Amino acid sequence: MPEVVTTTPGLYPLPDWAKDELSDLKGHQKADLIDGTEGEAVQDAYGRVRSEYVERQQDAGLDRIVEGQGRWDDMIAHPLAVADAVETRGIVRYYDNNNFYREPVVTDDLEATGDVAAELESAGEQVEEGLQAVLPGPYSLADLATDEHYGDDAEFLEAVADFLAAEIAEFPDVETLFLLEPSLVENAPDDGEDARASEAIDAVADAADAEVVAHTYWGALEEKVYAHLMDADVDAIGFDFVADHEANLYNISEYGTKSDVALGLVDGQNTRVEDPGTIAERIDWVDENTPGSDFETVYATINTETFYLPVNRFEEKLDALAAVTEEVIEA
């Protein structure tokens, strides 16, 4: 049986008290969203949100602790939304769901801001071990943005990868880094672009002094995209076993995977709470149905970001997920 490490891909729902307080402090207009220049009162509120997130994960008993990204108004586009070389313009749909983010338009050379590193530094003050960073993967971040500076898709993707690598260089010590890559599923790269996407992920992963997981979700990767992703030097690839377990199982069985694997086993968009036994059974199912794989580590996780969930259901899912290690050991 592999080691089971319980974790999440972050982007947690804001507590009700924070929604009320931040609504009063920030207002309700697009111009009031986070741009990296928020005042002391807003910073203090988000600091308390972050502290609450960390404490809640520690109380649940998760193995990896994330900052929670409560401050990310623009979901995984946040790192660009606070960059000096980026203008945020109209509101656009976040993939095919009912959430929206500000369109980040790159108008100059991208340079690291240290924004995510500062959030991790703050979270790290409460975490002795098991701190985990979360970033968008380069393909997804480039896919969500508009380029008005680099002028070439390949050059833009490389610039976004360099930008993320520079952000990582400012990180404190973390044990794992989740690179979220939903666009690899939702807007799969074409021929040629798929290889470049893998090279960009490889470049970002190379900058991290941590275990790196390229986490994909909202379905399964097309076969060729998956084959190219296997070329990236990451420690694990993440699979969404909620949205499409058969196609993900096929990719693993047909093309293999890394020695470690991340399994999205808990539904981040549905309020029905899975019990620990069910989550453990799903781990066993994947293990039993991939006889050619001998996983060293299984990152048991929620399949998507979790800001879609009501806070009470989100917390119940954290508790169920954290209990999985014990369930697996007892099995």
* Residues 6+ positions from 1 with CB-CB distance below 8 Å: 287, 328
pLDDT in tens, 53-92: 999 999 999 999 999 999 999 999 999 999 999 999 999 9
Mean pLDDT across 35-56: 95
Query: Sheet harboring 131-136: ordered strands across?
Result: 3-6, 297-302, 260-266, 236-240, 211-215, 176-180, 131-136, 65-66
Residue 138, pLDDT above cutoff 70: yes
Residue 29: the pLDDT is 72
Residue 15, pLDDT above cutoff 60: yes
Residue 32: the pLDDT is 78
Residue 279: the pLDDT is 96
Of the pLDDT bands very low, low, confident and very high (cuts 50, 70, 90), residue 123 is: very high
Residue 329: the pLDDT is 55
pLDDT in tens, 179-228: 999 999 999 999 999 999 999 999 999 999 999 999 999 999 999 999 99
Model-level pTM? 0.96
Residue 302, pLDDT above cutoff 80: yes
Cα-based distances in Å from 19 to 24, 25, 50, 56, 115: 9, 10, 13, 18, 22
Residue 117, pLDDT above cutoff 70: yes
Residue 1: the pLDDT is 74
